[in-house]
Amino acid sequence: MDPASYKKARRHFLKSTRDRDNSAAHSSDWSPFRVAEKRFKSKFPPPDLSNVLDLALLDPQRIHEINAGGWAGRPDAFPTRRINLFDSDAKGYIFPHIPGLVVLPSFLSHQKQKDLVEWSLSEHSKQPNETNLDIHYILPPEGVWNAYVAAKSDPSLDLHIPPKSSVVLDAFEQYQEQESGPRQLINNTPADSDNFDSLHNVPKLPAAPSPTAHPSSPATLLPKLRWANIGWFYHWGTKQYDFTKGKIAVHSTIRDICKHAVRAADWNQVFGNDSGDAGDLDWGENGPEWMDWNETYEPDAGIVNFYQTKDTLMAHVDRSEVCATSPLVSISLGNAAIFLIGGPTRDTEPSPILLRSGDVVIMSGPACRRSYHGVPRILENTLPSHMLSTDEDQREWELYEQYMKTTRININVRQVFPKGFAPQQHVDI
């Protein structure tokens, strides 16, 4: 943390705690996961990363990146085991106490990371893919990023993007009811092949546009971009998929990377005879399917998350996929982040892992896919130097660089339906 940011955080800390009672009294009801979230969110004093696993420290080629960013954990914060990777020069790591979690540090080349940033902003975050901004604004077809770039090159092309509340809406349109007060956590019913029909039939009303939104320029809206949907449409109000909207094919750029990551892992070392306790997991009545993932894994849904350095992702479990054990592939781009993963409840103390740009995480199997996880902290000023402009791409990359200096992009993709499940028998697809 730079001196100016440190002083600002200290002033805020002293002001916010001036009239606070004993902090222990406030935290007595916190779960172990919530305690960890609070610890890493702290701006002052800055969090201690001595118990955070930082696998980049095992790679001599990343030492400059680590030193430049100023944040570092430990390579031995908790037990890991290196596994073989097929058709890749990267390394893979698994964790005895979290069976099914696989981390692939530096899995993506520097150029591939830039390509994915460009894809996320200019190609993907526009119609027909929904974004959080579509709820409140009538966005241009080219998307907010491309409108922003056009206005930068020619100010006469700048737009005033109207809010949806400024136009006459369908008088018969029903919206999801908005509850007053603090945002409530939604513990949705886990999806499976038996309850698919009932979950599909739950009404999934659209979120109501904000009545206080004002006409805004692309430059104003861009920092408010938080997510863009991939594949099957996700309904945030119910935390279930809305299959009535149909499906958009997962772009080959992302599909190929995810399938490459899954095929690179030696799953026998993760779940097979060489995996220790991971071989005793309860996979359900159909038994383990990891042996066939090279053929059966087909990503069909996901999301691109756009985090600003002040943003967090609260502890949650992904329960919306009928296929609850298939790999979920998560790609990190830009600034580094603290990733927490615990157990089946928030009462399990989570393990912290420092994820850097180019790292890929795979969550798989019945235990890992049902574990609480979250991102309590984006580590400021950790954009690696390979994300900066070069003499060759300065003109094309300059705006991306400016945006990414305060941003972490996370692309996570999963498989909704297991092999043999025919969703078209339940809904029109």
Per residue in 50-61, pLDDT (tens digit) is 999 999 999 999
Per residue in 329-381, pLDDT (tens digit) is 999 999 999 999 999 999 999 999 999 999 999 999 999 999 999 999 999 99
Concatenated DSSP letters for 366-411? HHHTTS-EEEEEE-TT---GGGS--TTTHHHHHHHHHHHTTEEEEE
Query: How far is 400 from 404, CA to CA, in rounded Å?
Result: 6
Mean pLDDT of 98-121: 97
Residue 70 placed within a domain: yes
Amino acid at 252: S
Q: Which residues contact 147 (CB under 8 A, 6 or more apart)?
A: 140, 157, 159, 161, 218
pTM of the model: 0.90
Residue 262 placed within a domain: yes
Nearest Cα to Cα of residue 327 among 101, 11, 152: 101
The dihedrals phi and psi of 286, each to the nearest 5 degrees, come to -85, -5
Mean pLDDT of 201-223: 91
Tell me if 316 is assigned to a ligand binding site.
yes
Domain carrying residue 49: 33-114+243-425
Residue 102 placed within a domain: yes
CA 332 to chain centre: 8
Residue 79 three-state SS: coil
Residue 327 placed within a domain: yes
Number of domains in the chain: 1
Report whether pLDDT(172) > 90: no
- The DSSP H or E segment spanning 355 is strand 351-355
Residue corresponding to tokens 């990359």: 397
Mean pLDDT of 90-107: 96
Residue 191 three-state SS: coil
Question: Sign of torsion, CA 286 287 290 291?
Answer: negative
Query: How far is 281 from 136, CA to CA, in rounded Å?
Result: 44
Query: How far is 277 from 280, CA to CA, in rounded Å?
Result: 6
Query: How far is 205 from 227, CA to CA, in rounded Å?
Result: 19
- For residue 14 the two structure tokens come to 């002293």
Residue 15 placed within a domain: no
**CATH at 305:** 2.60.120.590
Cα angle at 381 between 375 and 387, to 5 degrees? Answer: 95
Report whether pLDDT(81) > 60: yes
Residue 222 placed within a domain: no
Tell me if 200 is assigned to a ligand binding site.
no
**Number of other CB atoms surrounding residue 164 within 10 Å:** 17
Residue 410 placed within a domain: yes
Nearest Cα to Cα of residue 44 among 102, 87, 89, 1: 1
Nearest Cα to Cα of residue 408 among 175, 69, 27: 69
Residue 156 placed within a domain: no
